[in-house]
Amino acid sequence: MTVRPRDCRPGELPARLCAVAVELLPVAGASVSLCADGVPLRLAATDDLAARLADIQVTLGDGPGLRAAASGTPVLACDLNSGRDARRWPVFAQQATAAGVRAVYALPLGTERVRVGTLDLYRDSAGELTPDELWTAGCVARLVTVSLMDLSRRARLDGHGLVGEPDEIHQAAGMVMAQLGIGPDDALARLRAHAFAHGRTVLVVAREVLGRRSRLDGE
């Protein structure tokens, strides 16, 4: 597959590059997420399961992608069904394996100074990426970084921001802070806990709070 940037709108490039990653690597799906104030924003996904894995990490506030974004280094969970990887993220690993995922490889996007998100890859069998495959994944991640930087530049020139969904989550956290008289970290934790307890994504719960269809002060 050949991706010609001039043939796509800037917003289409992350999705195109996710598809390239799936074609070049022994993985079943891929997603790209931005990280804004510690809350990932999924920009693109090759399939529903890749999107679901990204949403699980947003709801739990943890997982390989969030660790990669925080550390600036690749995080390779080669077997979520047993061993060290299953112990590192027990709830994420349980939900991922229940969905049929056995391995997740998260690569940070950005530079040494500025990390903007992650490229997350998954497959349904356990195992490591070879050095050559990891190098290829890194090349795709660098291309995604370039596309995101260009998208951010164009968004600023157009007078628009890239962040949408995290804004809603933080706004809802602000309402929970006012309702419960707690700090921002605790409010975000309450949103995530409520979403997890009810089997929903944190974005869905945030929108319900903002629409005054749900309150967390009765919990």
Three-class SS state of 185: helix
By percentage, how much of the chain surpasses pLDDT 90?
A: 40
Q: What is the pLDDT of residues 124-173, one digit of tens each?
A: 999 999 999 999 999 999 888 887 766 555 444 344 444 455 667 767 77
Pick from 40-49, 70-79, 123-132, 208-217: least confident: 208-217
- Spatial distance between the Cα atoms of 180 and 177, rounded to a whole number of angstroms: 5
Pick from 12-16, 73-77, 163-167: least confident: 163-167
pLDDT reading at 46 higher than 90: yes
pLDDT reading at 2 higher than 80: no
pLDDT reading at 88 higher than 80: yes
Which strand ranges, in their side-by-side order, compose the sheet holding 103-110? 39-45, 29-36, 115-123, 103-110, 75-77
Q: Are 135 and 119 in contact, with CB atoms under 8 Å apart?
A: no
Amino acid type, 66: L
Q: Structure tokens of 207? A: 């929108």
Give the model's pLDDT for residue 218.
56
- Spatial distance between the Cα atoms of 176 and 168, rounded to a whole number of angstroms: 12
By percentage, how much of the chain surpasses pLDDT 70?
A: 80
Give the model's pLDDT for residue 12.
72
